[in-house]
Structure 1
Amino acid sequence: MSTTVTSHRPRPPAQPESLRARRLPAYAAPVIAVAALALAAAIVYGASIGGPVLVIVLGAVLYLVGLFAASNAVEGRRSARNRTWSALIHSAFVLAVVPLASVVWTLVSKGTERLDANFFNTSMNNIGARDPNGGAYHAIVGTLEQVGIAALITVPLGILCAIYIVEYGRGRFAFAIRFFVDVMTGIPSIVTGLFVLAFWVLIVSPWFNDGRPSFSGFAAALALSVLMLPTIVRSTEEMLRLVPPPLREGAYALGVPKWKTILRVVVPTALPGIVTGVMLSIARAAGETAPVLLVAGGGAAINFNPFENNQSSLALYVYQQAGEASKYSPARAWTAALTLVALVLILTIAAKLLARRNRLSR
């Protein structure tokens, strides 16, 4: 006679209701936001103390208070603090994006008025206050030449200087280089313009111009180079320091010389960051007005020679057109500003794509 033994698996203990975390419903945050904006609008417009900006600011404060109170009542203090800080972070992001979006929208909406062939094919030579025509061809040429020359001078010099600081620099000399680079970072653009004016325009240029000082686009490029150099050096230095030491050590273990390790391993690894720093410096140089005005003089005619006579730039063109007493000048200024932003954006995208392609090809 056999007996069958049946085994009963113990059931898991039931989870008490008190241990289940309660959560706010998904619609709670939008409802609180709408209620906060409505209450803020009622307070501001009811008391006649402000406009839409004050409504948004007060609504954001009321939203944070309401969200904390609702979350604290349902989820507890810890979750309430988490939700509140998350909302503050999101608000900071929106606060940073809204001005940028506003600038882009203003540029696009106002800059398309003169976005035509005449604007890009003509200059301001012989254009009067009552003439609706006239363009920025001369300023576009000046910007491309001045920024191009400045980049040819500064990019190799800045990258080599950063390589020396990171890979070779030791002692007081490297410390002195870092110190002067930091000092140059804070130099105002007008000071660099005055320096180039006093040195190049008034002292050097008379040697090549029959004893007379001469404005030129090359002088503006020299001033822009002084502004670009510290940005390139510091950004390249930081990118080179981020390259992992095992990459260098592995190359040294294989018998690769140090200069070839830097050229074939370190620099390609840091290339995307280096390109970003270079494009930031180019964007700053392209938007400078004071150095170009001081040492290039500006001008309304087209000048393809950066080593002789006055030359304009897009930033200077915007400054001049914004101050002109003509009803057609503001449209030219906005279109030139849009052109400058688009030009920098195109150069940045092209440089990023080129750096990415070169990195992947390795």
Structure 2
Amino acid sequence: MTAADTDLRPRISPVTIRPSLGRRVRDRGATIAIYTAVFVALAPLVAVLWAVVSKGMDRLDLDFLTYSMRGLGAQDIGGGAYHAIVGTAQQVGLASLMSVPLGVLVAIYLVEYGRNSQLARTVSFVVDVMTGIPSIVAGLFVLAFWVLALGRGFSGFAGAIALALLMLPVVVRSSEEMFRLVPDDLREAALALGVPRWLVICRVVVPTAAAGLVTGLMLAVARVTGETAPLLLTVFFTDSINVDPFHGPQIGLAQYVFDQAIRPSDAAVTRAWAGALTLMVGVILLNVAARLLARWKAPKVHQH
């Protein structure tokens, strides 16, 4: 076909399709509804953030982070939350040591070994039930079994057990979902080469799901960091630093905020706001760390 023949073709002008008035009205209404929903969802969060930051910054300083409440009363100015920060770090750390390995192993069983088995369905049902258990019920269980029946007394470790019970179903579910996202082709290719299943899990499945695992585990940690009810029943209170989580009462940041907020003193309420800001910043840092670790652990795609 020559250029002359091409020029002789009838030229078809583009047709502009205009939506009807009804469609435009529905589209505009849906857009307004979506933006309104976003605003309604963000407004309380922004209000809480503004209140905590504006009121907590008045008291949050280096002294607040490095001093405890030992020897100070509710009316006294000064003091800090160092003992609560230490308590939270120890309790959440111990809870993670108990729940993370167990939760990941349970998830590996559900995905890799127990597919469609009766035991796997039973374990999955129990995990679902544990997910809906109120946090105070976990605290009551540890109080009745560990603190009273066994006579271990209040301690940071008792609180860590309660937190581990709350973390466990979250770890299992998040890890299970990440393992299910690993393509079966990777497993089958490794098994076809004669690699044992346990080695396939360690060398193929877990590294492939590492990014999602880290994110889920860090979010589980962030979730229990702000728990108060189970710690009120298992850890009790203290105004001084207790670095031994296995003996004697401790206090966490959430308990510290509760304890200071109920005291009839402006100084105590100011400390409560500062403690809330410290707790909020800690949770935000955990979420940021989870995203950075997930990006670092994500599989690298090399383009040739």
**TM-score > 0.5 by shorter chain:** yes
Structure 1 segments unaligned to the other structure (5+ residues): 1-5, 24-74, 207-212
Contact 2:212 2:294 (8 Å CA) reproduced: no
**Displacement of 1:361:** 7.5
SS in 1 for 2:282: helix
How do residues 80-99 of structure 1 correspond to structure 2 at under 5 angstroms?
80-99=25-44
Q: TM-score of the superposition, structure 1-length normalised?
A: 0.76
1:119 alignment partner AA: F
2:102 paired with 1:157: yes
- Of 12, 16, 20, the match for 2:16: 20
Aligned twin of 1:245: 184
- In structure 2, the CA distance between the partners of 1:327 and 1:10, relative to structure 1 (3 Å rule), is same
Contact 1:292 1:298 (8 Å CA) reproduced: no
- Of 226, 250, 253, the match for 1:311: 250
Q: Distance in 2 between matches of 1:103 and 1:93?
A: 16
How do residues 43-192 of structure 1 correspond to structure 2 at under 5 angstroms?
75-170=20-115, 171-192=117-138
**Displacement of 1:150:** 0.2
SS in 2 for 1:306: coil
2:240 paired with 1:332: no
**Displacement of 1:22:** 4.6
Q: TM-score of the superposition, structure 2-length normalised?
A: 0.90
- In structure 2, the CA distance between the partners of 1:13 and 1:356, relative to structure 1 (3 Å rule), is closer
How do residues 215-234 of structure 1 correspond to structure 2 at under 5 angstroms?
215-234=154-173
Instruction: Give the number of equivalent residue pairs.
Output: 296
Query: Superposition RMSD on alpha carbons, in Å?
Result: 2.1
1:20 alignment partner AA: T
Aligned twin of 2:237: 298
Q: Which protein, 1 or 2, shows the higher relative CO under an 8 Å CA cutoff with sep ≥ 6?
A: 2
- In structure 2, the CA distance between the partners of 1:246 and 1:79, relative to structure 1 (3 Å rule), is farther
Cα offsets for 1:312-355 (capped at 9, x unmatched) = 00000111111011111121111111111111222332343334
Contact 1:217 1:306 (8 Å CA) reproduced: yes
Cα offsets for 1:18-77 (capped at 9, x unmatched) = x53458xxxxxxxxxxxxxxxxxxxxxxxxxxxxxxxxxxxxxxxxxxxxxxxxxxx432
Contact 2:210 2:297 (8 Å CA) reproduced: no
Percent pairwise identity: 53
Q: Distance in 1 between matches of 2:188 and 2:225?
A: 40
2:194 paired with 1:255: yes
Q: Distance in 1 between matches of 2:13 and 2:242?
A: 85
